[in-house]
């Protein structure tokens, strides 16, 4: 989770439709896979690790982020979270890259560096922002380097010595609205004023968008057409 967006949403972040829906989507995708011990790369506030501990049986999460200025451990619900600036010598069942690779200049080299350390048979979950034509000042604000198609993401995964199990788009239910919003932003916003499009909504709007995206999780893994996020589950074969 991006620290900049934590500053925008504050205590409302757990109930915001976007993060609430994405956490549910991640949890559903990972349901069939072993995940007692996970790496959460670029974890920020550890939002996704905490969600998976409470809802998906994760027992231990190693949260890795260069933003951490100290190392410490936290007992959370029935699990344990370790906050580290660098990756520890631990063999995880699963490694998460939730909205991380789009920030990295050499995304392939970065991903490979974690694949090389991972045990054979371990899984990787990756999500990235989708479609270059959706690029806006929102991406500039968050420090993105690129947006991806499913083909881009699959090539990246395969070039990093991972075998894709499934890849798909998510947030297709709000995609038309997002396209209109980004187009308006690109037309009318000042080009030298990066800003986030993430915002707090009324209870009704937040509940409605959350409902749409929650329903979408039932069919998302068959969606190879459009969405705001591209997602992939893969494993290390050798």
Which tens digits make up the pLDDT trace of 86-106?
A: 999 999 999 999 999 999 999
Q: Do residues 135 and 147 make contact, with C-beta atoms less than 8 angstroms apart? A: yes
* pLDDT tens digits along 126-162: 999 999 999 988 899 999 999 999 999 999 999 999 9
Q: Do residues 124 and 97 make contact, with C-beta atoms less than 8 angstroms apart? A: yes
So what CATH class is 3-236?
A: alpha beta
Q: Do residues 221 and 166 make contact, with C-beta atoms less than 8 angstroms apart? A: yes
Predicted confidence (pLDDT) at residue 68 exceeds the cutoff of 90: yes
Q: For residue 5, what pLDDT is reported?
A: 61
**Taking residues 182-197, what's their average pLDDT?**
73
Predicted confidence (pLDDT) at residue 1 exceeds the cutoff of 60: no
Residue 75 is encoded by which pair of tokens? 């007992």
Q: How many CA atoms lie within 13 A of 207 on its CB side?
A: 3
Q: For residue 61, what pLDDT is reported?
A: 98
Q: For residue 168, what pLDDT is reported?
A: 98
Between CA 107 and CA 93 the distance in angstroms is 22
Q: For residue 191, what pLDDT is reported?
A: 65
Pairing of strands 123-129, 94-98: parallel
Q: Do residues 140 and 167 make contact, with C-beta atoms less than 8 angstroms apart? A: no
Q: Give the domain ranges of the chain.
A: 3-236
**Taking residues 198-219, what's their average pLDDT?**
92
Distance of CA 148 to the CA centre of its chain: 13
Q: Could you tell me where the DSSP H helices lie in the chain?
A: 3-9, 17-30, 47-55, 107-115, 137-142, 150-159, 175-188, 203-216
* 234 or 7, higher pLDDT: 234
The pTM score is 0.93
Residue 77 is encoded by which pair of tokens? 């619900």
């Amino acid at each position: 989770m991006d620290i900049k967006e934590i500053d925008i949403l504050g205590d409302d972040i757990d109930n915001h439709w976007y993060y609430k829906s994405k956490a549910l989507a991640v949890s559903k995708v990972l349901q069939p896979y072993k995940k007692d011990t996970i790496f959460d790369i670029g974890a920020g506030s550890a939002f996704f690790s905490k969600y998976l501990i409470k809802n998906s049986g994760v027992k231990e999460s190693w949260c890795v982020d260069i933003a951490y200025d100290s190392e410490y451990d936290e007992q959370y619900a029935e699990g344990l979270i370790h906050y580290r600036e660098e990756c520890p010598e631990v063999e995880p069942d699963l490694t998460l890259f939730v909205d991380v690779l789009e920030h990295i200049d050499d995304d392939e080299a970065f991903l490979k560096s974690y694949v090389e350390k991972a045990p054979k048979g371990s899984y990787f979950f990756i999500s990235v922002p989708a479609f270059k034509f959706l690029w806006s000042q929102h991406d500039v604000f968050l420090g993105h380097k690129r947006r991806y198609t499913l083909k881009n993401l699959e090539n990246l995964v395969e070039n990093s010595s991972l075998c894709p199990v499934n890849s798909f788009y998510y947030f297709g239910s709000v995609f038309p609205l997002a396209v209109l919003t980004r187009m308006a932003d690109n037309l009318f916003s000042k080009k030298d004023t990066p800003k986030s499009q993430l915002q707090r909504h009324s209870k009704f709007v937040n509940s409605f968008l959350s409902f749409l995206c929650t329903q979408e999780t039932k069919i998302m893994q068959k969606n190879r057409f459009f969405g705001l996020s591209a997602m992939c589950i893969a494993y290390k074969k050798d």
